[in-house]
Amino acid sequence: MSEIEKTIKLSDKDKKYWTARIDNETNDKRIELNRIIESKIDKQINSKFKSFISTINLKSKLEAIKKADAEYTKFLEEKESKERQLEKKLEALCELVVDSFNRHAKINNWSLMTSSDDSFSAIDRHLKNTCRDALCLEIKKTSKEGQLLEVMDAQKQKMLDAIHHPKLLFKQVEFEKAIQHGFLNMGIVYNHLQIANTAGSNDSN
């Protein structure tokens, strides 16, 4: 039998070697061929794409999408620019108001504005609350109701001091008159019967 006709049996080692050798050779060749194919695609894609979208009747629609996308992108860019511009303007105006108000607040002992007062609603609310507090003080000073509140506070304190004084003793009639007089000074009508019943219920307890 000649060498040509002689049969061989590949060992596991031979099979492993030739498998790796074949993979390497074909992989290298595949990379080379795919590179050439990709190069040809790059050269033809533009013209081919035009005919492709025309064939499936999408040319005009694709152009419309391109235009709409450009318009939308431009709008977003202009919107962001305008938004930043308006935001800076708002911040600057708020800072001016806050600084100006706080100068008056320090003089008048008002509540100061802070960096959180960065919108019209926040600043407007703070100013209205401050104005309300100032108006409340003014009305308390100038109105009969405000004057009566001041009298009530003073009279109430006198009455509390008297009834809690450890060394003061009262006769029933004198105590009732003093209490009644104290309430009358505060504009409160509190009659003798109410005082007597209250005192009696306390004694019974």
Distance of alpha carbon 196 from alpha carbon 203, whole angstroms: 11
pTM: 0.55
Same structural domain for residues 157 and 193? yes
Crossing angle (nearest 10°) for helices 59-108 and 12-55: 90
Task: Please say whether the beta carbons of 185 and 151 come within 8 A.
Answer: yes
Is residue 126 assigned to a domain? Answer: yes
Same structural domain for residues 150 and 132? no
Per-residue pLDDT reduced to its tens digit, 192-203: 545 455 554 454
Structure confidence at residue 94 (pLDDT): 93
Residue 185 has pLDDT above 90, yes or no: no
Structure confidence at residue 91 (pLDDT): 92
Same structural domain for residues 191 and 158? yes
Q: For the range 180-187, what are the long-range contacts, defined as Cβ-Cβ under 8 Å and sequence gap of 24 or more?
A: 182/155, 182/158, 185/151, 185/155, 186/148, 186/151, 186/152, 186/155, 186/156, 187/148, 187/152
Residue 205 has pLDDT above 50, yes or no: no
Residue 8 has pLDDT above 80, yes or no: no
Per-residue pLDDT reduced to its tens digit, 40-94: 999 999 999 999 999 999 999 999 999 999 999 999 999 999 999 999 999 999 9
Structure confidence at residue 176 (pLDDT): 72
The band of 188, judged by pLDDT with boundaries at 50, 70 and 90, is: confident
Same structural domain for residues 93 and 120? yes
Is residue 72 assigned to a domain? Answer: no
Q: Domain of residue 125: give its range.
A: 78-142
Same structural domain for residues 126 and 176? no
Distance of alpha carbon 129 from alpha carbon 105, whole angstroms: 13
Per-residue pLDDT reduced to its tens digit, 105-164: 999 999 999 888 889 999 999 999 999 999 998 998 888 888 888 888 888 887 787 777
Task: Please give the residue that has the higher pLDDT: either 202 or 13.
Answer: 13
The band of 204, judged by pLDDT with boundaries at 50, 70 and 90, is: very low
Structure confidence at residue 128 (pLDDT): 95
Looking at the structure of the chain, the number of domains it has is 2
